Structure 1
Amino acid sequence: MLSAVHDRDVIHGDLTDNNVLVAADGSPRLADFGISNILVQTNPAFSYHTGAVRWVAPELLDPPEDEPTQCATKSTDIYALGGIMLQVLYGKQPYCWLKTAIHIISAKFGHIEPIDSSIGIQPNHLDFMRRCWSTAKEGRPSVEEVINYLQEALSSLSNETSSV
């Protein structure tokens, strides 16, 4: 999945709920690599375009003035993966209470988290998703950490459901 893509220095750049498919065996598959980018060490040849703003890392929406074109990175894929975690674990899209792209962008500029108080998120899940959504991109977990965490979270959800 995403770890295999990142291991090959490929950035998806447009991770959303619509770009994660589930195979017949239940395993996830990534789709829509139309704007993927192969990292070039000195100058990534990718320019961000308007994508699904619910999942877009804030730094892609607000590039520094001296860098008018911001490039997608492994870290921006992790930000998006945090939103996918929210949807997989809790059935809610990031910024689910906002209906328009302009309101979502405004919320991101205001440093408003992609969740609201109506979503009852387990504290350990919330802490991990917040790491994915960190405005300090260096603070975001690696794809391996996200996968390990998701496997543990889904396993514990399955155990809770089967014991009910």
Structure 2
Amino acid sequence: MLTINIICVGKLKERYWRDAVEEYSKRMKPLCKLNIVELSEERMGDDPSDAQIRHTITAESERILQKLGKGDYVIAMCVEGKNISSEELSQRIEETCLTHSTIDLIIGGSWGLSDELKARADMKLSMGKMTFPHQLCRVMLLEQLYRAFQISKGTKYHK
């Protein structure tokens, strides 16, 4: 069975985000082994310097890199990533299953991911040009993963 790790910076503080993640996690249970790994975010003031931002990106990305398996297929969620359809995501997952047993999807902190981490990724994926809260991105990603599995199974969930 495919293992999917969602590795993300920060915890979900609001109950409604946690409820949504819990619902999609429950739906995913028969489809794959899903792990959500929450890593601590760096603390910064309201007006951080460029050096503080660089430090934050580096520190958070290093924690993420430590969680990646050597043979894992890594997808970095980042603004410069590729925009694909739900059908294309489904196809990508199907293809990846042929060569990898684990897919790691990375959601960085609010300042993004380091160049080193993006270079480690096998794919860079974007949710579009709009900016979304990281909590919402986690829910959207889970919904799209669930949808991708439903597309592969040919169910009516995806219309």
- Indicate whether the TM-score tops 0.5: no
The answer to which structure has the higher strand fraction is 2
Q: Which protein, 1 or 2, shows the higher relative CO under an 8 Å CA cutoff with sep ≥ 6? A: 2
